[in-house]
Structure 1
Amino acid sequence: MTGLPDHLRRATRSRSEAAEQRSRTALSGLVRNGKPINFTAVARAAGVSTDFLYRHPELRALIERHRAKGGVPAGSVPEQTAGSSTSSAVRVLSARLTQEQKARQGEVAKLRKALEVAQGENLALRRRLARYEED
């Protein structure tokens, strides 16, 4: 089996290099604007997959280094003040999710009980049918 033709190899390399450059540009833009640095944010800004970023050791190291700094840039609003409405929304949604989970668990328990009953009836009917077929 032969490898890719040269023109396809060059095109693939070119696309990869362009994606790597977009990733570097996106990362520097996020840093410059004081945005949180993580693989998802860089991938979205660069138009690449997170898998692409994880597979490129240099990009991965850069993102991890910036993510580790994690400090709030000067002049930005502290997370607690800016995120207070977000955190209350998260609490409300969390409470709603918990209620829905409990409701679903109750429904699942009822359905399991009904299934047990149906399986029991099915078994009884099979046994009756087996007795009639033996004759």
Structure 2
Amino acid sequence: MTPLPEHLRQATRARTEEVDKRARAALAELAKAGKPISFTAVARQADVSTDLLYRSSELRTLIERRRAKRGSVATAPAALHGDSSTAAEVRALSARRARQQEAHHDEVTRLRKALEAAQGENLELRRRLARHETD
């Protein structure tokens, strides 16, 4: 993979800095207005994705600190389970779904084979019946 040209790296850096500034400004505005601080509220105010806020360790830490300081937002579902991120829950659910899919696939395969065998037996019995009736 070839490295990005310098002008693209600069554009990416500028965009990242601009998004960071918007998120910080949104966080400050929410705090100043006395509004509840959450990742969703900051994302809406800054017009950025919540995923971006979660992935940026610096912004994530700032939001979590402000939220904890204010105590204005209910504990996130991930924190209730002792996990600092919903990513672990998503991975666990995805793994569970994959196991279930595999089990269903195996069952469908087994049932198809049984159906094929039953259809073969049925065909054989119909042929025997047809021979018997003509005699």
TM-score tier by shorter-chain length is 0.5 to 0.7
Gaps of 5+ in 2: 73-114
Of all paired residues, the percent bearing the same amino acid is: 55
State the secondary structure of the residue aligned to 2:60. helix
Provide the TM-score with structure 1 as the length reference: 0.55
Q: Could you tell me which of 110, 122, 128 is aligned with 1:128?
A: 122
- Structure 1 counterpart of 2:51: 51
State the secondary structure of the residue aligned to 1:37. coil
Offset of residue 57 of structure 1: 2.0
Provide the TM-score with structure 2 as the length reference: 0.55
Offset of residue 130 of structure 1: 3.9
Letter in 1 for 2:15: R
Offset of residue 47 of structure 1: 1.0
Letter in 2 for 1:36: P
- Structure 2 counterpart of 1:42: 42
- C-alpha distance in 2, partners of 1:133/1:40? 69
Within 5 Å, which residues of 2 pair with 1:28-107? 28-71=28-71
Q: Deviations over 1:5-34 (max 9, x none)?
A: 111110011001000000000000111111
- C-alpha distance in 2, partners of 1:130/1:49? 63
1:23 pairs with 2:23: yes
- C-alpha distance in 1, partners of 2:7/2:124? 71
- C-alpha distance in 2, partners of 1:131/1:3? 70
Change in Cα spacing, 1:133 to 1:34, as seen in structure 2 (3 Å) is farther
Letter in 1 for 2:70: G
Gaps of 5+ in 1: 73-121
Offset of residue 64 of structure 1: 0.3
- C-alpha distance in 2, partners of 1:33/1:132? 82
- Structure 2 counterpart of 1:6: 6
